[in-house]
Structure 1
Amino acid sequence: MSRTTTGMSRHIRRSAAVAALAAVALTGLATGASAHVTADPRTAEQGSYTKVSFRVPNERDNARTTKLVIEMPSDPVIEHVSVRPVPGWKVEVERAKPPKPVKTEGGELTEYVSKIIWTGGEIEAGRFEEFDVSMGPLPANADRVLFKAAQTYSNDEVVNWDQDPGDGSSEPEHPAPYLRLTPKAAAEPVAANAANGTTPAAAASPAGDGTARLLGGLGLAAGVIGIGVGALGLTRARRKA
């Protein structure tokens, strides 16, 4: 093996080692920054129904998480809430009277789910659990929903995740889980095409399809040529070595 080839191998190994260390460092930073109660997914559509998973990691090395309390929003309230069972955990749902009248299709809403409480289970150090809640309809005139959370440990410590995260530019120490709401999606193009008696497939012109095939063929040919040139260069390099 030539001196040039040996030097190149050392450079490749050194670069790989640096990249690996950087990846480990970034992973550690991401883990530290996200080690709090969060809502997944982070976004949902205004006025829709969705399932929210409250992800709860155990941040303590000397205690286990034994209780979780989620406060549902009170203004506006969410009319329909249902909880998915979590193996090993008991769930209790508290209800309250809405702070102001809420009109529904069946009349006026007299009570809503104000708190969801999970107890009886354990989340050990270095692990997390997810608690699923189906809810809706989500507020139609709001850009987000906050869910204040309280996490209790086996040593009786209680951590309240109840601070407003703001716009996310400077996260507080104990941010509350939140769901960002986006406007309803515009009508699908299929509906407009159907009104005109066409579909997206029928509206596509044969000329456009032929152009796409031609471009695809050219791209494939360029790829084959590139592979050949690369192989030739590698062969020459080995002969010089």
Structure 2
Amino acid sequence: MSAHRSPLRRAGTVTALAAVGLFAAAGVASAHVTVHPESYAKGATDGQLTFRVPNEEDSAATTKVQVFLPTDHPVLGVLVSPHDGWTPKVTTTKLKTPVKTDDGTITEAVSEITWTGGKIGAGQYEDFDVAFGQLPDDTDQLTFKALQTYSDGKTVRWIEQAQSGDDEPENPAPVVKLTAKGAGGSESGEQSPAASTATASAAKSSASGDSASDSTARGLGIAGLVVGVLGLAAAAFALVRARSARS
């Protein structure tokens, strides 16, 4: 009886290993610092950005995270959400070109946020939330370069920017695309209450893992399971045929 079952067992083992390989490949592909949501309306107000920092080292913990905000197209009214175990340091810079707003002229903006004191262990990640008062409306995207420092002294520089038509670089910088104002936005870039609620919901959903990279990983996982089911079905069919031939 054990000899008859061995093909089925071998098929199940091979399928399981293939599925594990797919999940591992998906995890490696998404193991870089990202920002969520991936897009906002130009001039959006009173929103939130979440910087997700995964630990891609097996033998060291992440102990320092630095995010650099653009000052040529500044993000105004930045506030850092408290995060257990981490101490933020906010650096401001005098703007070369002051920004005129309904509340007056802004001459300084946050240029860097550094989190220290905490640890992100192997196979873990942390979300760092940053609220803003207003995004710029004179650019199509915002690039947030980041540095990730480990307990062994290694620093990974997430600062590379993909050129049009090129593949994603090895250490890409987090990027937020800025889209044209929707029907709910005003000419000043301020969102209506309904639009603001939708934006906040999108940010919360994305910060919970509902990002494009997570969707891709789930898709690959499902594909692996489907392959496994088909493999098991084929092995079972072969076993039934073998028994029928003997009888």
Q: Please, what TM-score do these two structures have when normalized by structure 2?
A: 0.65
User: The residue matched to 1:110 in structure 2 has which SS?
Assistant: strand
Q: What are the superposed Cα offsets for residues 79-131 of structure 1, whole Å, 9 maximum, x if unpaired?
A: 11111111000011111101212212232212111110100001111111110
CA distance in 1, matches of 2:183, 2:132: 22
Residues 160 and 172, structure 2, Cα contact 8 Å, conserved in 1: yes
Matched, 1:35 2:31: yes
Residues 47 and 136, structure 1, Cα contact 8 Å, conserved in 2: no
Of stretches 77-86 and 25-34 in structure 1, the one that deviates more from structure 2 is: 25-34
Alignment of 1:36-115 (within 5 A): 36-49=32-45, 50-115=47-112
Residues 162 and 176, structure 1, Cα contact 8 Å, conserved in 2: yes
Choose 1 or 2 for highest CA Rg.
1
Which residue identity lines up with residue 51 of structure 2 in the other structure? F
Residues 73 and 138, structure 2, Cα contact 8 Å, conserved in 1: no
Q: Please, which runs of 5 or more residues in structure 1 have no aligned partner? A: 1-5, 189-240
In structure 2, relative to structure 1, the CA distance for the partners of 1:168 and 1:67 (3 Å cut) is farther
Q: 1:133 aligns with which of 130, 134, 137?
A: 130
Which residue identity lines up with residue 149 of structure 1 in the other structure? A
In structure 2, relative to structure 1, the CA distance for the partners of 1:46 and 1:74 (3 Å cut) is same
Which residue identity lines up with residue 31 of structure 2 in the other structure? A
CA distance in 2, matches of 1:106, 1:138: 15
CA distance in 2, matches of 1:24, 1:180: 33
Higher relative contact order (CA 8 A, sep 6+): 2
State the identity %.
46
Alignment of 1:117-156 (within 5 A): 117-156=114-153
Matched, 1:175 2:172: yes
In structure 2, relative to structure 1, the CA distance for the partners of 1:105 and 1:186 (3 Å cut) is closer
CA distance in 2, matches of 1:23, 1:182: 37
Which residue identity lines up with residue 73 of structure 2 in the other structure? P
CA distance in 2, matches of 1:139, 1:65: 31
Q: Please, which runs of 5 or more residues in structure 2 have no aligned partner? A: 186-243
Q: Please, what TM-score do these two structures have when normalized by structure 1?
A: 0.67
- 1:26 Cα deviation from its structure 2 partner: 2.8
Which residue identity lines up with residue 26 of structure 1 in the other structure? L
Q: What are the superposed Cα offsets for residues 218-239 of structure 1, whole Å, 9 maximum, x if unpaired?
A: xxxxxxxxxxxxxxxxxxxxxx
- 1:74 Cα deviation from its structure 2 partner: 0.7
- 1:62 Cα deviation from its structure 2 partner: 1.6
- 1:132 Cα deviation from its structure 2 partner: 0.5
CA RMSD of superposed structures (Å): 2.7
Residues 80 and 130, structure 2, Cα contact 8 Å, conserved in 1: yes
Residues 98 and 108, structure 2, Cα contact 8 Å, conserved in 1: no
Residues 89 and 114, structure 2, Cα contact 8 Å, conserved in 1: yes
